[in-house]
Structure 1
Amino acid sequence: MGIVNPEERTARGRAYLMCPPEHFAVEYAINPWMDTSAPVDVELALKQWQLLRETLVRLGHAVHVLPAEVGLPDMVYAANGAFSVDGTVYGARFRYPERIAEAAAHRTFYLTGDWRFVEPVEINEGEGDFAYVPGAYGGLILAGYGFRTDPAAHAEAQEVLGRPAISLRLVDPRFYHLDVALAALDDNNIVYYPGAFSDASQRVLRQLFPSAVIADEADALAFGLNLVSDGRNVVLNSEASALAAKLRVAGYTPVPVELSELKKGGGSVKCCVAELRP
């Protein structure tokens, strides 16, 4: 594959929601990356988060801030709080009790804005397990399950949002959410690590996205797939240098950011950023 000219890729202004890590800590372990014995430098986490926010703003995007709440150390991972498409918001219902209260904070944000908010019945963790590819097949929801979100939530999201949902089974606990194994790069294409998915789900992805950028295990372990893309600029963890090179060959512009402290909770760029789709 030859190098694609980045000028052929088009950036589109986005709106995002983020929550500062003012109370960030690893006080419990609900994914394989969390180590309660590893100290967290909250000051450094705040600096890294602020740099991520400034990077998104510099790229021309609007960033809204959800106030952090005491007692919710994982609230910095704002992507998990809901999933929005065309002004409709499908709320989150967290699997673990430690995070349940986060859903109410996100609900309040959307209810104070011009959104149609739908309370979920099924367990789901927002954009942690839902990705949206708006130009594919008239708008396609890719939906992960296996560790956090219940498969029944995929049908519920499809009904709420009026877009077909494709269920993808995650099989490696290191990639416990869809957003650490797959990401939308633009309106029509994705990047993903095949080894995170069942054989059947891999076949589905190959059929739907034959031109996808394929990541390897090292890319995924570096949290490279936990990224945010505007169609041209791809903001990703600075540790994922190999994936950055692959994206550059595919015509995207990698924008590395350092998020070493926030990685201690099992997340990186995308986990910290919920996309708002009015």
Structure 2
Amino acid sequence: MFVTDATTFLDAWRQLDTTPFGLATAQAAFLVSPAEFSLATESAQDNAYMAMQSSTDPLRALAQHAALAQALRTDLPVVTFPGHPATPDALFPNNVFATAPGTLVVGRMRHAIRRTEAERGDIRSFFRNVLGYTEIDLSSRDDLVAELTGSMVIDRARGVGFCGLSERCDEAGARAMHEAFGLRMTFCFRLAPGEYHTNVVLAVLAGRAAIIAKDGFASVDVPDAIAEAYAPHVVQLDAAQKRAYAGNAIALSSERVWMSDTAGRSLENAQRALLECAGFRIGTVPLDEIEKAGGSLRCCIAEIF
């Protein structure tokens, strides 16, 4: 089912099959390390979160990324692939590569510099030859834009996708991802002007809780409907917390939600209590150097289901 308005979404949500669709959290994850970390001018055309006036420290970015991988390994196995200086955004692989059980999905990126990432034979070979996954390749299609789990936030337990339309994803891309991930339902909506990815304004945590930045959506009906679906375990972010990447969070186990140190420090005590009530500890990692590139912790993680 593919729905495009809040009322239809809530009606369909109430009628969802209660049988679990799949695992609520990933079995493993992979990262791509930053190489000669820099900011991609092409990506800045539609990513207002990028700190283009800032200088960058490649060694500090590499150290923060390594610390992230080490921290995440306390929850699940993590594989790190090397980056390349020619693809400075490659440290955000979740936009290019994503998985459903037994399937690797390769996205169709808006910018040419990111389409180069989709050509990586080592990552494709890892899934095909080592894990035995089949491949659904959207990267060769010129009739859509689909930046995978940047644009599509997925409740894996229920098989429900939340897809925000922007310059990084059009409706054709949303429908292609719905089919590629084999979802029960996708709720498709427009993001607010200036927003580029859904996973900056929405996180769904192991199917039990949601973090929502209401001002990141074009219509208030959308975040209100999502909040109703996940009530009472809903953390509402203000604009400053959204800017601090508090919405760019992920649960990689049933007991912990990960976000950057900047994001974690932005939360109020009542918001922390809401996450704790939902059964989550908060894990944080300093990523302020990496965040200059317009993404944060969740953007760095490609989940393996």
TM-score of the superposition, structure 2-length normalised? 0.80
1:125 to 144, 147, 150: 147
Structure 2 CA distance for aligned equivalents of residues 42 and 83 of structure 1? 26
1:151-178 Cα distance to aligned partner (Å, 9 max, x none): 21121122222212111321141x3111
| Correspondence 1:222 to 2:244 | yes
TM-score of the superposition, structure 1-length normalised? 0.87
| Correspondence 1:210 to 2:225 | no
Structure 2 CA distance for aligned equivalents of residues 250 and 25 of structure 1? 34
Structure 1 CA distance for aligned equivalents of residues 125 and 26 of structure 2? 25
Does structure 1 conserve the Cα–Cα contact (< 8 Å) formed by 2:164 and 2:189?
yes
1:166 to 175, 187, 192: 187
Structure 2 CA distance for aligned equivalents of residues 36 and 239 of structure 1? 19
* CA-CA distance at 1:89 after TM superposition: 2.6
Q: Percent identity?
A: 24
CA change 1:263–1:67 in 2 (3 A) is same
Runs of 4+ with >6 A deviation? none
Q: Give the counterpart letter for 1:23 in structure 2.
A: E
Q: Give the counterpart letter for 1:238 in structure 2.
A: D
* 1:99-248 map, 5 Å: 99-105=114-120, 106-112=123-129, 113-120=131-138, 121=141, 122-136=144-158, 139-163=159-183, 164-173=185-194, 175-199=195-219, 200-211=221-232, 212-229=234-251, 230-240=253-263, 241-243=265-267, 245=269, 246-248=271-273
Structure 2 CA distance for aligned equivalents of residues 275 and 41 of structure 1? 27
* CA-CA distance at 1:83 after TM superposition: 2.5
Where do 5+ consecutive residues of structure 2 fail to align? Answer: 1-23
1:184 is paired with a residue whose SS is strand
Which residue in 2 is equivalent to 1:7?
Answer: none
Structure 2 CA distance for aligned equivalents of residues 165 and 206 of structure 1? 16
Structure 2 CA distance for aligned equivalents of residues 258 and 264 of structure 1? 12
Which residue in 1 is equivalent to 2:9?
Answer: none
2:91 is paired with a residue whose SS is coil
| Correspondence 1:77 to 2:92 | yes
Instruction: Between 156-165 and 264-273, report the one with greater CA deviation.
Output: 156-165
Structure 2 CA distance for aligned equivalents of residues 72 and 209 of structure 1? 37
* CA-CA distance at 1:60 after TM superposition: 2.8
Superposed CA RMSD in Å reads 2.0
Structure 2 CA distance for aligned equivalents of residues 244 and 259 of structure 1? 20
* CA-CA distance at 1:12 after TM superposition: 6.0
